[in-house]
Amino acid sequence: MGSGGDGLKALLCGKGGCGKSTLTALIARSLSDRGCKVLVIDNDESNFGLHRQLGLELPDDLLNFMGGKKDLIGKMMEAFPKGEKLTLFDQKWEIPTIPQGYVSRKDNLSLMAVGKIHEFGEGCACPMGALAKQLIQNIDLGDDDFVLVDTEAGIEHFGRGVEEGCDVLFMVVDPSYESIRLSEKISELAAKAGKQLYYILNRAEGAGREILCCGISEDRIISTVPIHESIFKAGLMGDEFLTSVPEVDVIADFLIELRSK
Ligand SMILES: Nc1ncnc2c1ncn2[C@@H]1O[C@H](COP(=O)(O)OP(=O)(O)OP(=O)(O)O)[C@@H](O)[C@H]1O
Ligand SMILES: [Mg+2]
């Protein structure tokens, strides 16, 4: 489904703290347990914990491969006023050919980090958005490969067009008024981007689930993940997710099914 072979590129979004990174790591684990190769793209410039949930080292920022933030801003400033297309990659990458140092790997799992905020006053995260957008488009996938993109909270990535190279979007919805409101906006933005949007209800059970379902059509809800003590504990300690979560396996199965369509 994705560019290249028949793999698939999925992006997870949602409000702050709804469980995007947790679910990205859990889905990646579940897909990899099913024999699929998974590249996780960490596109959250502010959080530093996703690699631990995957049991991987934090790779160097891809931004450094591009010469660093200042260089990239320079390229953007050169291209945009002239109406030229910004081209950051001179050749396609496959998961095994991602340059060393900018990917960390274990078994079927690979992780890339687009760029993190490291210094006080270093400037905005716009270059990371531009880079993430092109990186996702630049990865060619084999038939059994998946890309999972973990995003920063909110909808700025839509503004930057990060979704363009993705085949499918998942909004993680937790039981909060903010999430309900955001789901309306994200549904509108996904439609404008021409992308399929599905929902994962997280930490939602009983009455919370019922209220969430009022505004979201049931056939778009792929899974409802309850609060799991094992997830909570691993999240608190910064431990690798090792326990399989049945409600997450459902999402992995859905992705595998979607890929073969
Ligand atoms: N189903 C769950 N059961 C128990 N704890 C959970 C569950 N989902 C998420 N959590 C916990 O909720 C917290 C927030 O999750 P997470 O960091 O994945 O959210 P996020 O959407 O990625 O946040 P951010 O917007 O900061 O990137 C973490 O401590 C995580 O361990
Ligand atoms: Mg996160």
Distance 30 CA to ligand 2 centre (A): 18
Say which residues have a Cβ less than 8 Å from residue 130's Cβ, sequence separation at least 6. Answer: 72, 76, 86, 88, 160
The pLDDT of residue 118 is above 60: yes
User: What is the pLDDT at residue 207?
Assistant: 74
**Is 160 a domain residue?**
yes
pLDDT > 80? residue 214: no
Q: Whose CA is nearest to atom 3 of ligand 1?
A: 227
Which of residues 104 and 128 earns the better pLDDT score?
104
User: Residue 3 falls within a domain, yes or no?
Assistant: no
Domain of 238, CATH number, reads 3.40.50.300
CA terminus-to-terminus distance, the chain = 8
Domain total in the chain:
1
Residue 1 lies in a domain: no
Q: Is residue 2 part of a domain?
A: no
| Residue 217 pLDDT class (50, 70, 90 cuts) | confident
Tokens 């002239």 found at: 82
Residue 116: pLDDT band with limits 50, 70, 90 = confident
Q: Please, how many CA atoms are within 13 Å of residue 201, restricted to the half-sphere of its CB?
A: 25
Higher per-residue confidence, 11 vs 71: 11
Domain of 53, in residue numbers: 8-259
Contact in structure between 114 and 134 (CB atoms under 8 Å): no
Asked if the structure places residue 38 within a domain, the reply is yes
Residue 215 has pLDDT above 80, yes or no: no
pLDDT given for residue 212 in this prediction: 76
* Whether pLDDT at 89 is above 90: yes
- Tell whether the torsion through CA atoms of 122, 10, 248 and 15 is positive or negative: positive
Burial 90-112 (b: 16+ CB within 10 A, else e): eeebbbeebeeebbbbeebbbbb
Confidence at residue 3, expressed as pLDDT on a 0 to 100 scale = 47
Task: Look at residue 79 in the predicted model and tell me its pLDDT.
Answer: 83
Supply the pLDDT for residue 5: 59
Does residue 28 register a pLDDT over 50?
Answer: yes
Pocket test for ligand 1, best of 151, 157, 232 (most atoms within 8 A of CB): 232
Position 48 in a domain: yes
Q: What are the pLDDT digits (tens) for 161-198?
A: 999 999 999 999 999 999 999 999 999 999 999 999 99
To test ligand 1's pocket by mutation, which of 22, 170, 186 has the most ligand atoms within 8 angstroms of CB?
22
Residue scoring higher pLDDT (158 or 119): 158
Q: What is the mean pLDDT of the chain?
A: 92
pLDDT value of position 1 = 60
**Residue 236 alpha carbon, nearest atom of ligand 1:** 29
Ligand 1, CB cutoff 6 Å, lining residues = 14, 16-22, 44, 47, 153, 202-203, 225, 227-228, 231-232, 235
Sole residue written with tokens 């990646």: 28
